[in-house]
Copies of this chain bind each other. A is one copy, B any other.
Amino acid sequence: MYLYLIRHGIAIDRDALSIDEFRPLTKLGRKKVAQVADKLVGLDLKFDLIVTSPLVRARQTADILIDKQLSHNLEVSTDLAPGGNIQSWIADWDQRSTVDPISTLALVGHEPDLSEWAELFIFGKVYHQLILKKGGIIGLKFPAPAEHQSPQIEIGKAQLHCLIPPKYLM
């Protein structure tokens, strides 16, 4: 199973809008996310499902990925909001994955959560040593499940196959 962690694009400043949840992407932010999406389309990447944080800048980033047809399925999870509970998300996911197998999943969210989760998935602990830029992507590969088992997202089991700043995707 492949899990991609995608950070939202550049949003308007915190000073410009008092409610953080509502800050939209800037024009440049939308453009860069669209360029990243085009690159991924060119590489034949497809997500069985995109799950996004409910915050506007993440929703808008996910919407661009959907517009570019990187996936046909979009869901929103409050567990992906800043400071969200990834353990709660994994528990829900494991229950669901037994009935709804997914082999390529993308989560759209925020820093420092995404890079912390990546370290947790890979190493089983958080080092704060991964740098994930806005519009950047982390790609994780989980081991193939045993026969008749569903693919699982497990702490400390993933391999890191890519960590790509957006400038390399344009």
Interface residues, chain A, with chain B CB atoms under 8 Å away: 39, 43, 122-123, 127, 129-131, 141, 158-165, 167-169
Contacts and interface: CB of A to CB of B under 8 A. Distances in A.
Main secondary structure of the interface of A (DSSP, over half): mixed
Q: How many copies does the complex hold?
A: 2
Contacts of A127: 122-123
Nearest to A137: B168
A156 to B, nearest CB: 9
Given A123-B123, A127-B123, A129-B123, A162 B165 contact: yes
A36 to B, nearest CB: 10
Contacts of A159: 129-131
A97 B126 CA distance: 31
Nearest to A127: B123
B167 A168 contact: no
Contact of A160 (B39, B130, B161): B130
Contacts of A129: 122-123, 158-160
A39 B161 contact: no
A152 B66 CA distance: 44
Contact of A131 (B39, B131, B160, B167): B160
A168 B165 contact: no
Contacts of A123: 123, 127, 129
B158 A162 contact: no
